[in-house]
């Protein structure tokens, strides 16, 4: 079924109240009982106790040559992009008749990256979360994961993890946020995870900095009537395979092309099943302007811009934009260079994907040498605000 941009609505996610309650109780328990509670939850949910794994040099993991070369290529490209980002940021200093002022860029010292487990090692997550932290200058870079797959350990080693802890779930986030006997409290936690991991990050963000509260993965594909249907259909299926709540929306102002796409979808068993679960949706826009408006209202995590009549400058709300059909999201997921940790569920309207910037802090500095005029003006404001000792602090410095 082809929907219309004017009536389309984002699917409603399941009520997370139960998850919020469960995670809240876990965090309270861990805060009160510390390491004992962390170990109990790990053994209950993951069937093993937390374990610190000593990382070896990348070459010592003896991965298959093709995989090893692919991981090194990915790391090189992610690191290059991160360095370019860091180089684009500058410290600043200026002076006037009263003194000197400026800003310094300082790294967050201690961070942790959560890397989900599962049947297969999430190599790319290790690279995408740890490399920018290293380039930013974070001193302590802890990898947290329930997986001990050799490929994951190798990737974490190559990315620059200073410690690897085999631990999963909300208890891993709590351990990093509160600290415990085997892990000092960190200043920032990044990385994706299931609903329990996301909720733990959300509830702990008042005491530790986080990247984002990740929701289901999504892609919006904007297409004109000239695109290769088979390519974009596979791109939609690829996005939907992230999980049962993942969403792929294909939108176009070309009705005939959308109908061709729908016919191909119906012939593909995987795509048809995903469409029946509303994980692949087709949306028609009456005009190009309607298509642009829809894209900015959607605020997609990933936006594939496969429309020659729409320029990237018109896209204001998207976590990452992939321009042209030869720029698939799957490439960005692994090694094109920009980070794949992106805002989901329309949060791209107000936030950005993970980058070197997230691991930096701005510290302002000022040196006042001849401030009489400034002291007088500031004292006037202080008195107007009823803060007499502020005013006195200033007036004492006046000649």
Residue 364 CB-density burial (10 A; 0-12 exposed, 13-18 middle, 19+ buried): exposed
Nearest residue to 299 (alpha-carbon basis) of 278, 321, 319, 329: 319
Query: What angle, rounded to 10 degrees, do the helices at 35-45 and 17-33 form?
Result: 140
- Whether 194 has a binding-site annotation, put simply, is yes
Single out the catalytic residue among 262, 302, 307, 340: 302
At residue 337, φ and ψ (nearest 5 deg) are: 140, -55
Assigned token pair, 160 = 């620059």
DSSP 119: S
Asked if residue 307 belongs to a known ligand binding site, the reply is no
Nearest to 140 by CA among 116, 173, 107: 107
Is 263 marked as a binding-site residue? no
Indicate if the alpha-carbon torsion angle 351, 357, 359, 361 is positive or negative: negative
d(CA 203, CA 189): 12
Residue 239 assigned ligand-binding role = yes
17 is catalytic: no
Tell me whether residue 378 is exposed, middle or buried, using C-beta atoms within 10 angstroms of its C-beta: 0 to 12, 13 to 18, 19 or more. Answer: middle
Residue 242 marked in a binding site: yes
**224 is known to lie in a ligand binding site:** no
List strands edge to edge, sheet with 99-107.
Answer: 92-95, 99-107, 360-368
Give 247-287 as a DSSP string: EEEEEES-HHHHHHHHHHHHH-HHHHHHHHTTSEEEEE-SS
According to the annotation, is 196 in a ligand binding site?
no
Q: Does the annotation flag 358 for ligand binding? A: no
> Quick check: is 301 catalytic?
yes
- Burial class for 112, CB neighbours closer than 10 Å (0-12, 13-18, 19+): buried
C-alpha distance from residue 178 to each of 294, 360, 361 (Å): 42, 21, 21
Distance between CA atoms of 207 and 203, rounded to whole angstroms? 9
Catalytic option among 301, 313, 317, 380: 301
**What torsion do the CA atoms of 196, 202, 206, 212 make, to the nearest 10 degrees?**
120
Binding-site residues from annotation for substrate:
217, 239, 242, 302, 333, 385, 390
Binding-site residues from annotation for Zn(2+):
239, 242, 333, 390
Binding-site residues from annotation:
114, 171, 194, 217, 239, 242, 302, 333, 385, 390
State the catalytic residues: 301-302
């Amino acid at each position: 079924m082809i929907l219309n941009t004017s009536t389309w609505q984002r699917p409603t996610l399941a009520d997370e109240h139960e998850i919020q309650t469960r995670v809240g109780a876990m965090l309270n328990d861990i805060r009160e009982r510390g390491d004992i509670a962390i170990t109990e939850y790990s053994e209950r949910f993951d069937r093993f106790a937390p374990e610190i794994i000593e990382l070896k040099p990348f070459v010592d993991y003896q991965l298959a040559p093709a995989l090893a070369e692919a991981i090194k290529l990915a790391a090189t490209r992610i690191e290059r992009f991160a360095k370019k980002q860091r180089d684009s940021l500058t410290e600043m200093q200026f002076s006037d008749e009263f003194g000197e002022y400026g800003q310094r860029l300082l790294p967050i010292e201690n961070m942790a990256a959560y890397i989900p487990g599962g049947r297969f090692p999430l190599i790319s997550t290790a690279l995408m979360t740890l490399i920018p932290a290293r380039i930013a200058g974070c001193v302590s870079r802890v990898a947290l994961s329930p997986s001990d797959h050799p490929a994951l350990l190798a990737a974490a080693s190559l990315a620059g993890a200073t410690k690897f802890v085999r631990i999963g779930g909300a208890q891993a986030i709590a351990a990093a946020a509160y600290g415990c006997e085997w892990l000092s409290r960190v200043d920032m936690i990044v990385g994706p995870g299931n609903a329990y991991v996301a909720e733990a990050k959300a509830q702990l963000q008042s005491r530790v900095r986080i990247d984002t509260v990740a929701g289901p993965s999504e892609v919006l594909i904007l297409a004109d009537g000239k695109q290769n249907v088979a390519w974009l259909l596979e791109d939609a299926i690829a996005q939907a395979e992230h999980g049962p709540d993942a969403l792929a929306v294909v939108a176009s102002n070309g009705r005939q092309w959308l109908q061709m796409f729908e016919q191909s979808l119906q012939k593909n068993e995987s795509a048809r099943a995903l469409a029946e679960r509303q994980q692949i949706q087709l949306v028609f826009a009456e005009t190009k302007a309607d298509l642009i408006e829809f894209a900015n209202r959607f605020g997609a995590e990933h936006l594939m811009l496969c429309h020659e009549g729409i320029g990237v400058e018109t896209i204001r709300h998207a976590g990452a934009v992939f321009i042209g059909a030869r720029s698939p999201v799957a490439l960005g997921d692994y090694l094109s260079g920009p980070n794949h940790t992106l805002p989901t569920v329309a949060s791209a309207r107000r936030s950005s994907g993970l980058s070197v910037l997230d691991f930096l802090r701005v510290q302002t500095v000022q040196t006042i040498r001849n401030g009489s005029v400034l002291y007088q003006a500031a004292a006037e404001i202080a008195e107007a605000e009823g803060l007499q000792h502020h005013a006195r602090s200033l007036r004492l410095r006046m000649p």
